[in-house]
Structure 1
Amino acid sequence: MGVGLIWQNSVWIALQDNGIIARTEIYDRYDLIMINDKLVINLIPLDNDYSASELIDLQSVYQLKNVVLVQLWEDIWLTRQEQVIGRIKSILGLNKRLHGRKGLVTVIDQTEADDFLIANHIQASAKARYKFALQIDGQTVAVACFSNVRWMKGISASYKSVELIRFATRMGYTVTGGFTKLLKHFIKLIQPDDVMSYADRDWSLGNAYELSGFKLVETTPPAKIWLQKEEMIRYFPHRMPDLGQDKFAAVFNTGNLKYILYLNKV
């Protein structure tokens, strides 16, 4: 076994260039990279015959060993290499640390949020109603984006729910308390009854949410995604542009972990 395809070799080289010692690991028919017995990267080529359930089972095998496994698809690596390496460093605890309590929370617009998230989040940006930045010494070190208020009349006439759509820190930094500071600022401003968010199972076990008091309420099923091959852009089926089926390749994710932070009792 070995890392054989050109893009897979480039992952290996990028890790070495960033001083990350890694080794290949044989498991069934998967191309894996093991790092410090803490993290496994499953390298998934676009041309594969895996099922989502197989990838979830693989992740569970390593989770039982207290090892994080991430699912790295070929297109994600080819389009988001810098962000992937940044996320890997974060998982491994290789970031510099900043103290969020020293930061100033500011309101930002969609363009500012887009610029920061495209540079620092694996999934890039998304439209949001409320956007906040945490600044330390005049530099934005974290951004959190939230949806508009959703009135949950099935719970009560006045029940307000919001979604945390994106959170990211500047690559290379872990901002201790930064997430909590942005979240508390938003909660004080909007006063929702709960805050909901999703953790991408390809990359996360949801630990950060649980440490912040969120409760796991649902595991969503894997989703089919269409990859526009020429531009390497992913689309969910309902947002797929009409370019012709031959322009797309079918990929998928392993679903999401849905978390809710309950703030008020009904």
Structure 2
Amino acid sequence: MADTLPFPDQLCNWLISISFPCNLVREPDFTLPVALIGDGDRVVMKIIPVEFEAWRKSDGTKLLHDITLKLASIRNAGILGVVLWEDYWLAKRSIVQSRLTSILGRSARIPARLTLARRIDNALTTQFLDDNHLNGPTTSKFRYGLFLPKRYYRVLPSNFAFDQLPEELLVAIATFSNARIFEQGAQPFRSHELIRFASLQGTNVVGALDKLLNAFIREKAPDDIMTYADHEWSDGRSYLRLNFEERGSMAPREVLVDLRNMARVSKTPELAEISSVDYLTVFNLGSTKYVKTIKPAPDEP
């Protein structure tokens, strides 16, 4: 019965079921509903649910602009803001719910200091990202995981469902590109990209990204590490806390949603003329580039 409701109502009903008051409101000069999530008497988060039916009926360029402005106003007011497209809710609901409960402070907390960091293989990385990252796996050169030893399983809540037989539990991973080498000051400068970071569903591994970055830095000695923060979910503050610096941004990009399975695919020239019955053109909201300098470039003081 619940799944017959519109997607924004499904979202609010789920939040209410985990004890977060949620109300869908219409705000002035904005065509989409906004989900207001409370904690006591205050609003702690606003989610903009982008329902496909509303997207189809709109001027996409204008609505994308309006969503961007609305998200900025939410964050500028000191409130957590997220934009959530309908395909993610339908196809990857458990991952979406895990991310939201983590942001809202309802996930199982695991101190990264209790974990062990080491390189992992491609098969394990692919499976973990498929299960725990909204954008799934992608090509990478270096892959690191954090493992919680069995002796520390006690930090997990008694109702946390997982296989307790193995001697360790993979709780977070980070993947990195091969080095891009630039000539600066007549010397090579090695830059790597942090491509993916994900934690096990239902958990918040406190300090995980910092520990994974440090493991990578110790082994590969990069001169800098760059990454991108997705505007729909992040305002970049987690990177700033880890001494990344903002270095520009990327504009929103068109993607295609296969309406038969809600999978996202890049919009290529080969797919430009495909049927609008099976595919819907949507956008991401763009991203901000962040760079963590490990060793100053040779021409820097």
Q: Which string of whole-angstrom CA distances, capped at 9 and with x for unpartnered residues, describes residues 116-165 of structure 1?
A: 11221222221211111100111111111111111123675411010001
1:222 aligns with 2:228: no
Bigger shift: residues 30-39 or 180-189: 30-39
Unaligned runs of 5+ in 1: none
2-side partners of 1:80 and 1:20: how far apart?
21
Residue 29 of structure 1 aligns with an amino acid whose one-letter code is T
- 2:44 is matched with 38
Q: Which string of whole-angstrom CA distances, capped at 9 and with x for unpartnered residues, describes residues 185-218 of structure 1?
A: 1011111111000111011101111111100111
Query: What's the CA shift for 1:237?
Result: 2.1
Unaligned runs of 5+ in 2: 150-167
Q: Aligned runs of 1:187-266 on 2, under 5 Å?
A: 187-238=217-268, 244-246=274-276, 247-266=278-297
Q: Identity over aligned residues, as a percent?
A: 27
SS of residue in 2 equivalent to 1:257: strand
Aligned length: 263
TM-score (norm 1): 0.92
1:156–1:22 Cα change, 3 Å: farther
TM-score (norm 2): 0.82
Query: What's the CA shift for 1:26?
Result: 2.2
- 1:118 is matched with 130
1:180–1:26 Cα change, 3 Å: same
SS of residue in 2 equivalent to 1:158: strand
Bigger shift: residues 93-102 or 199-208: 93-102
Q: Which string of whole-angstrom CA distances, capped at 9 and with x for unpartnered residues, describes residues 47-104 of structure 1?
A: 3124322111001111121012211111111011111111111111112221111211
Over aligned residue pairs, what C-alpha RMSD do you find?
Answer: 2.0
SS of residue in 1 equivalent to 2:264: strand
Q: Aligned runs of 1:139-154 on 2, under 5 Å?
A: 139-153=169-183
Bigger shift: residues 14-23 or 84-93: 14-23
2-side partners of 1:151 and 1:240: how far apart?
32
Highest Rg: 1 or 2?
2
1:88 equivalent among 100, 104, 109: 100
1:240–1:169 Cα change, 3 Å: farther
CA contact (8 A) 1:52 1:253 kept: no
Residue 51 of structure 2 aligns with an amino acid whose one-letter code is P
